[in-house]
Amino acid sequence: MAQKAKDKKMLNIKKLFHSRQTIRGKLLFWLLIISLVPMAVIGFVSYNYSSSSLQHQSFEQLETTLAFQYQALQRYFDDQAKKLENIASNMEVFQEEAYTKLSAIRALQKKQIQDYFKIRFEDVKIFGQNPQQQQAFSQLLQNADTEPNSEFVEFLDEWLMNRDFASLTMLNQDGEVVYSTDKNVPRGATVHEGTSEWEAMQKGMLETRFIDYRPSSFHELKNVAYFSTPLFSADQPPSLLLFRLQDHALDSIMKEVPGLGETGETYLVGMDGMFRSNSRHFDEPTIANPSFLVDTESIVYALAGEDGETSVVNYRGDSVLSAYTAVSIYGVTWVLMVEINQAEAVIPKLEDGKTDLLSQLAQTYTFSDLYLVAPDGYIFASAKRHKDYLTNILTGPYADSMFNKAVQEVLETQKMAISDYAFYEPAGGQAEAFMAIPVMNDDAMSMIVALQISIDPINDIMKIRQDFEKESGQAEMEGHVEMIHVDTYLVGSDKLWRSEAFNPEKYQAKSTLLNPKVKADTKAVQQALAGKSDTQVIVNSLGEKALTSWSPVRYKGLQWALISEVAQKEVDRPVMQLLRIVGLLAFLAAIAVIFISLRVAGGVTKQVDEIMQGIAMVEKGEYGQQVKITSKDELGQMAGSFNQMTTTIHDLIESRQQEHDELQDSIIRLLEEITELADGDLSIRATVTEDVIGTLADSLNLMLEELGTAFVRIKQSAEQVGSTANILSASTGELAGQNNNQANMINEAVQEINQLTKAIREAADQANQSASFSRESSQVAGEGAKAVRETSQAMEAIRGNVQNTARSIKRLGESSQEISDFARTINEISDRTSILALNASIQAAAAGEEGRGFAVVAEEIQRLAERAAVSTRQIETLIKNILGEITEAGISMDSSIQEVVQGTQLSQNALSRLDEITERSNEVFELIQGVASASQQQADTTAILATSMGEIGSISLETAEEAMGASVSMQEMAVMGDDMLQAVATFKLESDKKDPDNDVLEADPFDA
């Protein structure tokens, strides 16, 4: 039993969830809904609100961090730029000072050189004019074999040595050596053309001259310079004295110049690019040495007469500051160059003598390195002197580095430039960026100052994110500190990182800096590189959703993206915990609701079941059953009311049964009385009782009374109708006779009208005949017009044909003209052929015997051309004749056309006249037509009149016949009234019972 009860309960519970028709099920369902839905809504709203608030707060803090880092980056780069500008301006100042010094030295040296040569010039001049020297040399001239005495030779040697002359050579006017202090110059040796001796002879025979360095006639492969002076004597032809300048003559002036430091020097250069002095940097003499050539631009400027200062790469390949000027020496122009190495000029040594300014600046400002670069790309100074020192950054081994790019940009724009970070080998493969600025000298760039920037300051700036984490990233839960990790980083335009990540392992790399495996190509990076700033939830480079704030970082040439992001799941962690708590509470609430609803539903449904059972019994008809009352609530009250209802129904049924029996007896009695009534006895009356049937009997009795009264009235009326019918029959007989007379009179009238109609028809026929004659005349006029029209059309056709003929003739003329043009072309061709033949014959004649055959051909061609010309002339004549005749034909055609036009005009006039005749005929025809139709109408009208009269006659006859018929009907009506009286007499009335001998009275015919 218990098991069964348990199973039953289980079944009920199952039903509860399967079927919603039970109260229990509905109650359970709606209670669950009412309790759980609000909880879900509250939970959902709370989640969204808290999630968005948290997100909003995170965004704000991300943006703040981003802004701070952006400012820090800007400040850093501005700071570096300012330092660089300061250094550059210092370099500029040093450079200016160096140029000033060089200019002063240049002026001083120029004066010294000019003074020196002036003195030598005077010495030579005086020597040549000295009578003793003249006499001594004259003797040599007279006798070629004579040797000068030893005293004279000694004197000469000393004189020459004191004046920096290497030798003295005497030439006669023929260019032969008469005497020379140089043993390598033999007597009798002749001067060669193009040598310095030869030039001396060309220029120096009249006055003292200075001869620039040239190849020598007497010293093979050597360039020499002379002072030359003529030697005149009374009895001898003039001769020439050549004083050769010592190679080291100017050393004392050029080599020892204070203030030029270790690398500075001064030197002279001739127009041929060769030295005119010895260099302090070479032991080998550079003077007039073709192995040492100077071809810098400053030589050209100086020879053009300009004095100037510039930075150049000198003959040794060094970047130097140079001051140049031209020095004129008795018609010879040399260039004086004063130079010092650029590095030595702008980078002074410090007091210790070991460290230079560049190194100190690099140390002070913690630059990775500090460079000075020449405009051609040569790194001539470096603080750290790594592998790139003294290389060319534009063409050297590091030409593909960012340093090169920065230097190139400075060269192009002449403004400060910055390059992006890249690994730089001279810096040990570290990531370095470069910032460079030009140093100008009079609108020309003299050098570039560049500094090398390490990545460390950038990483330091990016570490600002840790502060953010400390401020807002912590969330304590059950004693654990949850850190929200924010990544802030820089990305370059190549999508590579420009900073180190907080946790590179997250990106599966040891380092994120410039690592191609850790490319950041997200929406944030793309937008930031495009110049946009925003804060959104996007997918980051790890593929997870992240709250990201980004902004571009632009500094001169740098184009970076600054990204700050935090993973969404980390931000949402507290919200998720809240969601879990809410979920647990909702679950517990659901269980409680189910339990309570089951309990409540159970109590409600028991009473309802009892009531349902009671209703089932009532359906079967058992009204005596009472329902068990199990509760005292509304359902219990409902059960009590149900019991009362069933008791009342039972009593009511019994009383009704009794009333039914009584009623049935009354009905039987009434039926018996109605049977008697059906037999015709209208005097019978039904028994009236107190029930419903009594009412029915009473009504029946009333009906019988009314019916008796009606039958009496009918009887009286029938009698009246019989008498009236007899009187009417007599009257209608008389009416019929009068109608016949009327009909005879109408017939006579109709005959008269018919005769009138006939006369009118004859008049209409005559009018029709007139109309037909008129129509015929109109037709004839129309045919005449038609004939004239056809004539006009024929003439038009003739005119058209004539015009076509004229056109054909014109075309013929044009064709003839074309033929004439062709003939002209043929004529030209024959003309040209003739010329060709003429040329051919001329050429054949010039060729002589070999051209004879060709001459024959040419003659033949010429004959053919002449024949063609003759034929074309005949054709032209014929065509002219044809054209003349065509013109005449055209003229006659035109006159024919004119006559045709006139004929057409006349026929048009005749046509218009005929049209008028036709029109008038038509009008006459219409008038006659109108008269005929009017006559016809008159005839028709009289015919109709006759017909109408005939109908009137026939109607009168009909009327008479009908009157006769009515009389007959009246007689029949009288017969019917008699029949009705007989029919009524069969019913027995109550009045008959009272007076049985009462006869039927005659009705008054005027009674209504």
Partner 1 sequence: MRDKKKKSLKGQAKTVALSLDAEQIKGRDPVLLFTASQIDEVLADAEVHPLPFAANHLVGLCAWREQVLPIIDLVAFFDLIPSQKDKNERYVVVRTVDSTLLDTNKDNKEKQNTNKVVLRCVLKVSNQIISGDIPTECTAVFPKQAGFAPVFLKGLFQGEKKLFLLPDLATIIHSDVQGSTT
**Where do contacts with partner 1 occur on this chain (CB under 8 A)?**
831-832, 835-836, 838-839, 841-843, 845-846, 848-849
The minimum distance between CB 858 and partner 1, in angstroms, equals 9
Q: Give 215 or 851: the residue with its C-beta nearer to partner 1.
A: 851
The minimum distance between CB 816 and partner 1, in angstroms, equals 24
The minimum distance between CB 836 and partner 1, in angstroms, equals 8
Q: Give 202 or 825: the residue with its C-beta nearer to partner 1.
A: 825
Which residues have CB under 8 Å from 859's CB, separation 6+? 837, 841
Q: List, edge to edge, every strand of the sheet that includes 165-171.
A: 177-180, 165-171, 239-245, 223-231, 209-215
Tell me if 978 sits within 8 A of 726, measured CB to CB.
no
Report CA 181 to chain centroid distance, whole Å.
95
* Cα→Cα distances 834→825, 853, 870, 997, Å: 14, 18, 12, 171
CB atoms within 10 A of CB 644: 10
* Cα→Cα distances 325→109, 320, 332, Å: 10, 16, 14
Q: Give 812 or 838: the residue with its C-beta nearer to partner 1.
A: 838
Cα–Cα distance, 217 to 198 (Å, whole number) = 8
Cβ-count burial of 431 within 10 angstroms (0-12 exposed, 13-18 middle, 19+ buried)? buried
Q: Give 195 or 862: the residue with its C-beta nearer to partner 1.
A: 862
Which residues have CB under 8 Å from 371's CB, separation 6+? 379, 381, 382, 383, 388, 403, 448, 449, 450, 451, 452
The minimum distance between CB 817 and partner 1, in angstroms, equals 23
The minimum distance between CB 862 and partner 1, in angstroms, equals 9
DSSP string, 196-212: HHHHHHHHTTSS-EEEE
Report CA 787 to chain centroid distance, whole Å.
78
Q: Give 417 or 844: the residue with its C-beta nearer to partner 1.
A: 844
Which residues have CB under 8 Å from 924's CB, separation 6+? 774, 777, 778
Q: Give 580 or 832: the residue with its C-beta nearer to partner 1.
A: 832
Give the bridge partners for 190, in sequence order: 176
- Which tokens go with 633? 């609530």
- Which tokens go with 7? 């199973």
Q: Give 111 or 873: the residue with its C-beta nearer to partner 1.
A: 873
Tell me if 728 sits within 8 A of 1007, measured CB to CB.
no
Cα–Cα distance, 424 to 371 (Å, whole number) = 15
The minimum distance between CB 855 and partner 1, in angstroms, equals 8
Q: Give 446 or 862: the residue with its C-beta nearer to partner 1.
A: 862
- Which tokens go with 814? 């044009």
Give the bridge partners for 293, in sequence order: 274
- Which tokens go with 514? 């410039």
Cβ-count burial of 189 within 10 angstroms (0-12 exposed, 13-18 middle, 19+ buried)? middle
The minimum distance between CB 859 and partner 1, in angstroms, equals 9
**Helix H or strand E encompassing 872:** helix 852-984
547: phi > 0 → left, psi -120 to 50 → alpha, else beta; which? beta
The minimum distance between CB 835 and partner 1, in angstroms, equals 5
Q: Give 726 or 839: the residue with its C-beta nearer to partner 1.
A: 839
Q: Give 859 or 940: the residue with its C-beta nearer to partner 1.
A: 859
Q: Give 793 or 843: the residue with its C-beta nearer to partner 1.
A: 843
Give residue 954's identity as a one-letter amino acid code.
S
Rounded to the nearest 5°, which phi and psi values hold at 545?
-70, 135
Closest CA to 359 of 951, 348, 539: 348
Tell me if 750 sits within 8 A of 953, measured CB to CB.
yes
Q: Give 429 or 848: the residue with its C-beta nearer to partner 1.
A: 848
Report CA 78 to chain centroid distance, whole Å.
39
Rounded to the nearest 5°, which phi and psi values hold at 371?
-125, 155
The minimum distance between CB 820 and partner 1, in angstroms, equals 19
The minimum distance between CB 860 and partner 1, in angstroms, equals 14
The minimum distance between CB 877 and partner 1, in angstroms, equals 17
Angle between helices 692-847 and 852-984 (to 10 degrees): 170
Q: Give 807 or 880: the residue with its C-beta nearer to partner 1.
A: 880
Q: Give 208 or 841: the residue with its C-beta nearer to partner 1.
A: 841
The minimum distance between CB 871 and partner 1, in angstroms, equals 19
CA max distance for the chain? 233
Tell me if 868 sits within 8 A of 830, measured CB to CB.
yes
The minimum distance between CB 193 and partner 1, in angstroms, equals 24
The minimum distance between CB 864 and partner 1, in angstroms, equals 16
Q: Give 411 or 869: the residue with its C-beta nearer to partner 1.
A: 869
The minimum distance between CB 867 and partner 1, in angstroms, equals 17
Q: Give 554 or 832: the residue with its C-beta nearer to partner 1.
A: 832
The minimum distance between CB 852 and partner 1, in angstroms, equals 10
Tell me if 349 sits within 8 A of 356, measured CB to CB.
yes
Q: Give 224 or 837: the residue with its C-beta nearer to partner 1.
A: 837
Cα–Cα distance, 974 to 720 (Å, whole number) = 9
- Which tokens go with 18? 């399967």
Q: Give 305 or 853: the residue with its C-beta nearer to partner 1.
A: 853
Tell me if 439 sits within 8 A of 447, measured CB to CB.
yes
CB atoms within 10 A of CB 8: 10
The minimum distance between CB 837 and partner 1, in angstroms, equals 9
The minimum distance between CB 106 and partner 1, in angstroms, equals 54
Which residues have CB under 8 Å from 372's CB, separation 6+? 91, 342, 343, 346, 347, 358, 379, 380, 381, 382, 447, 448, 449, 450
